[in-house]
């Protein structure tokens, strides 16, 4: 079905199900209970999860398939955001043209950057993309201030010359981004006993885009083109001996992943119409690398998981403060309570980046395949146990290899 094999179809349906039921899945704790702060089902976070998921999926097309580690992907996201806001300022508040222009602008920029950077590989490529992204960042902050809004960022205003549509609503407010009339910030709430679930139009719009983008990524992974990209990763020299030029393929992969980043930037704008240069700083590029690595590079589902875990933990952990910690450990004796809180405190709240850095290092050191590989290892562990539990029926069972 849909041109996918059985395993891929199952994966795709799982992702679809997760997207549709995310407002339920992310809200497992009843409102008002002590665990309610672990709920991630509010629209703002859900949108972020999906948008960064798209960003990471796109990044994975480049890094996971070709092995080229780009350290400048946030530039495309930032440029996509700027293009989207300008489209809303000048043309219409409908998000479709904004998204299209975001993707196209990011694609154009990635053609230029990719054409130059892909002449080198390895760390040179990483440093070149880093240099380009930093250049875009510095330019956005300085010379391009009339276009980018500089430090304040680019926002809508009450007197934007919008060609299709009004520059302000009847009440004198800035109009809201919409999809053919469906307003992005509209939400409806469902009360079920102690639980309350919020369904947000913007989130479901993102989810639809994600579904399309993820489907495209699966098809790309399984296509002959995807196979070529893997060939680039495994042995570029051998590939060129067979008479194939790797550069068109890598450039195509670079541009596609740049367009995914632009799409993510456009979606950010569609949810909240503002753009700032801080989206392009190189630590933001590093963040998408973290997402891909944490989830599992080169796997389909990995980047989505990585983006989800990082963004969820970010929003949960950074809200924990010392008062909450004291509440949690109130059952301990006084001195011990202060001691435990003092140990944990640097890692939560503002210390979220410290936790992130440590987790990231641990993953790179011990689990280079990320969450997906971790899951596989645990799965193998259970499978082996089950095999050991079944009594050996005959002597044909191979002797366990040493070290196993």
Binding site for another protein (CB under 8 A): 63, 67, 69, 71, 116, 119-124, 126-128, 130-132, 134-135, 138-139, 141-144, 282-283, 286, 289, 293, 346, 351, 353-354, 356-358, 360-361, 364-365, 368
Nearer residue to another protein within complex by CB, 152 or 223: 152
Nearer residue to another protein within complex by CB, 99 or 310: 310
Give yes or no for a contact between 291 and 52, defined as CB atoms under 8 angstroms apart: yes
Nearer residue to another protein within complex by CB, 225 or 347: 347
Nearer residue to another protein within complex by CB, 131 or 211: 131
Q: How far apart are CB 261 and another protein at their closest, in Å?
A: 19
Q: How far apart are CB 286 and another protein at their closest, in Å?
A: 6
Q: How far apart are CB 350 and another protein at their closest, in Å?
A: 8
**Residues 7, 118: Cα–Cα separation, whole Å:** 34
Q: How far apart are CB 362 and another protein at their closest, in Å?
A: 9
Q: How far apart are CB 259 and another protein at their closest, in Å?
A: 22
Helix (H, G, I), strand (E, B) or coil at 153: coil
- Sole residue written with tokens 């399984």: 222
Give yes or no for a contact between 294 and 306, defined as CB atoms under 8 angstroms apart: yes
**Residues 104, 31: Cα–Cα separation, whole Å:** 43
Q: How far apart are CB 389 and another protein at their closest, in Å?
A: 36
Nearer residue to another protein within complex by CB, 20 or 116: 116
Helix (H, G, I), strand (E, B) or coil at 165: coil
- Sole residue written with tokens 């290092």: 361
Q: How far apart are CB 39 and another protein at their closest, in Å?
A: 27
Nearer residue to another protein within complex by CB, 175 or 295: 295
Dihedral, CA atoms, 294, 207, 88, 94, nearest 10 degrees? 170
Nearer residue to another protein within complex by CB, 233 or 326: 233
From residue 285, give the alpha-carbon distance in Å to each of 121, 131, 157, 290. Answer: 18, 12, 29, 9
**Residues 299, 293: Cα–Cα separation, whole Å:** 10
Give yes or no for a contact between 261 and 80, defined as CB atoms under 8 angstroms apart: yes
Residues 6+ apart with CB under 8 A from 13: none
3-state secondary structure 342-398: HHHHHHCHHHHHHHHHHHHHHHHHHCCCHHHHHHHHHHHHHHHHHHHHCCCCCCCCC
Q: How far apart are CB 338 and another protein at their closest, in Å?
A: 18
Nearer residue to another protein within complex by CB, 166 or 240: 240
**Residues 70, 297: Cα–Cα separation, whole Å:** 13
**Residues 48, 53: Cα–Cα separation, whole Å:** 8
Give yes or no for a contact between 349 and 325, defined as CB atoms under 8 angstroms apart: no
Q: How far apart are CB 135 and another protein at their closest, in Å?
A: 4
Nearer residue to another protein within complex by CB, 142 or 166: 142
Helix (H, G, I), strand (E, B) or coil at 78: helix
């Amino acid at each position: 079905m849909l041109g996918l094999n059985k395993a891929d179809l199952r994966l795709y349906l799982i992702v679809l199900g997760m997207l549709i039921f995310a407002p339920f899945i992310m809200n497992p704790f009843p409102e008002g209970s002590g665990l309610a702060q672990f709920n991630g089902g509010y629209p703002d976070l859900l949108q972020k999860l999906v948008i960064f998921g798209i960003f990471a999926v796109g990044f994975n097309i480049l890094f996971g398939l070709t092995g080229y580690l780009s350290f400048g992907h946030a530039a495309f996201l930032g440029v996509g955001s700027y293009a989207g806001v300008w489209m809303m300022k000048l043309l219409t508040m409908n998000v479709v043209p904004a998204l299209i222009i975001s993707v196209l602008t990011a694609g154009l920029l990635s053609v230029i950057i990719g054409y130059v950077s892909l002449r080198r590989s390895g760390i040179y490529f990483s440093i070149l993309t880093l240099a380009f992204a930093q250049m875009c960042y510095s330019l956005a902050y300085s010379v391009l201030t009339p276009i980018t809004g500089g430090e304040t960022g680019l926002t809508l205003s009450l007197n934007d010359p919008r060609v299709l549509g009004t520059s302000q609503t009847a009440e004198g407010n800035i109009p809201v981004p919409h999809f053919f009339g469906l307003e992005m910030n509209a939400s409806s709430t469902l009360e079920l006993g102690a639980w309350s679930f919020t369904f947000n139009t913007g989130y479901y719009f993102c989810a639809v885009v994600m579904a399309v983008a993820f489907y495209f990524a699966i098809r790309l992974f399984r296509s002959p083109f995807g196979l070529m990209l893997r060939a680039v990763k495994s042995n570029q020299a051998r590939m060129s001996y067979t008479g194939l030029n790797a550069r068109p393929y890598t450039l195509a992969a670079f541009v596609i992943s740049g367009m995914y980043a632009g799409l993510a930037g456009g979606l950010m704008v569609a949810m909240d119409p503002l753009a700032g240069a801080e989206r392009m700083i190189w630590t933001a590029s590093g963040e998408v690398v973290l997402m891909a690595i944490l989830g599992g590079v080169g796997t389909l589902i990995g980047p989505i998981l990585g983006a989800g875990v990082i963004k969820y933990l970010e929003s949960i952990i950074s809200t924990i403060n010392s008062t909450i910690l004291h509440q949690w450990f109130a059952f301990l004796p006084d001195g011990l309570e202060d001691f435990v809180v003092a140990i944990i405190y640097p890692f939560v709240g503002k210390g979220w980046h410290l936790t992130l850095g440590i987790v990231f290092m641990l993953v790179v050191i011990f689990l280079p395949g990320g969450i997906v590989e971790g899951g596989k290892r645990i799965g193998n562990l259970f499978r082996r146990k089950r095999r050991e539990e079944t009594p050996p029926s005959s002597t044909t069972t191979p002797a366990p290899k040493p070290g196993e």
